[in-house]
Amino acid sequence: MILSIESSCDDSSIAITEIETHKLLYHKKISQEHEHACYGGVVPELASRLHAVALPRILEETKPWFDKLKAVAVTNQPGLGVTLLEGIAMAKTLAVLLEIPLIPVHHLKGHIYSLFIEKPTRFPMLVLLISGGHTMVIRVESFEKMEILATSMDDSVGESFDKTAKMMGLCYPGGPIIEEMARRGDENRFDLPVPLRNSKLIAFSLSGLKNAVRLTVESLGGSEAMSEQDKCDLAASFQKAVKLHLLQKSKKIFKQEPVKDFAIVGGASANLYLRNAYEKLCDEFGKTLHVAPLEYCSDNAAMIGRYALDAYARNAYADDPNSVDLIVTKKQKNNTLL
């Protein structure tokens, strides 16, 4: 069995995965969303203090499995340094005490592996990763080979939902709130610009759209002067522009990539409006859409554990846990997800 730990942002999570069967034996996540809600985003120092309380509490419940553990896995990049360190410190201590190897896990690869929780891997796969920290399309050939085909030049998709919510005086995380309000809104009321609409670039950009939302809020007299219906209409118009942007760039990629299997992962992949749009696009291009179950779209230790199974099978671990550390920045060489 492998015990996995995730603490890259505002979710404290631990999972136990069985090596032979890939079964998820235990999974718990304590989210800090409520604690950060009034700040409009994650406050790193507060997040790290909350991890320091939540992680040991969850770990306590996993004690019955300790003597069966073959390895510990932990997210060590990318993410908030001070929160990653909480998980890494715990993972190192466990690995040293139990005398088992430590598997460092790249958080984005974890999101890709959220597709394979309690399932076999399926490669090659074209993956759109839309989270709070990243927006990119990755061609996943194998465990070893993951090539980035497109990224955001500025904000990520999740971040743009969070900032739009904040500008309308709504709470963090903005994604689920905007999606819910958009269901009650008129997506054609505000004509927001679809980013990079006339550009040949295969890249994403969301900061211009964010600015258009800000100007619209101002034109309505500020968030406090906006009615509930104004907010629902703006949420819907914003979400529509994000959808059109993602679809336009994805179409370009679909035209040049023959890979049949396409997936959306990351926190914003829980958005059903976006999922439906991709369902149609995949039909049109003869691709099969894959998504993770809703509970595994946002950060969780089950996906870290699933990736760790494949790493363990390839001996991709550190025998000396002390050699595993937080990786603050990693240069992308040749667009490979390292």
Binding site for ligand KG4 (CB under 6 A): 9, 131-133, 158-159, 161-162, 173-176, 179, 266-268, 270-271, 298-299
**Which H/E stretch holds residue 75?**
strand 71-77
Burial of 274 (0-12, 13-18, 19+ CB in 10 A): buried
Window 127-156: contact mask with Zn ion (x via CB under 5 A): ----x-------------------------
**Residue nearer to ligand KG4 on the CB measure, 187 or 312:** 187
**Residue nearer to Zn ion on the CB measure, 155 or 299:** 299
**Residue nearer to Zn ion on the CB measure, 43 or 232:** 43
Which one of ligand KG4, Zn ion, none is in contact with 305 (Cβ closer than 5 to 8 A by kind)? none
CB of 282 to ligand KG4, least distance (A): 19
CB of 131 to Zn ion, least distance (A): 4
CB of 9 to ligand KG4, least distance (A): 5
CB of 269 to ligand KG4, least distance (A): 8
In order of 30, 80, 175, 298, the CA distances from 33 in angstroms are 9, 15, 12, 12
The answer to whether 47 and 83 are in contact (CB under 8 A) is yes
CB of 24 to ligand KG4, least distance (A): 18
**Residue nearer to ligand KG4 on the CB measure, 100 or 107:** 107
The answer to whether 75 and 107 are in contact (CB under 8 A) is yes
Q: In the range 271-310, which residues lie near Zn ion by CB under 5 A?
A: 299
The span from the CA of 230 to the CA of 133, in Å, is 28
Which one of Zn ion, ligand KG4, none is in contact with 262 (Cβ closer than 5 to 8 A by kind)? none
**Residue nearer to ligand KG4 on the CB measure, 87 or 174:** 174
The answer to whether 182 and 202 are in contact (CB under 8 A) is no
Which one of Zn ion, ligand KG4, none is in contact with 270 (Cβ closer than 5 to 8 A by kind)? ligand KG4
How many residues touch Zn ion (CB under 5 A)? 2
Task: List residues bridging with 336 in a β-sheet.
Answer: 147
The beta strands (E) that lie in 220-331 are given as: 261-265, 288-291
The answer to whether 30 and 99 are in contact (CB under 8 A) is no
In order of 74, 91, 113, 243, the CA distances from 303 in angstroms are 11, 16, 6, 26
CA 323 to chain centre: 26
Find the radius of gyration of the CA atoms of the chain.
20
**Residue nearer to ligand KG4 on the CB measure, 100 or 140:** 140
CB of 313 to ligand KG4, least distance (A): 25
CB of 66 to ligand KG4, least distance (A): 28
Binding site for Zn ion (CB under 5 A): 131, 299
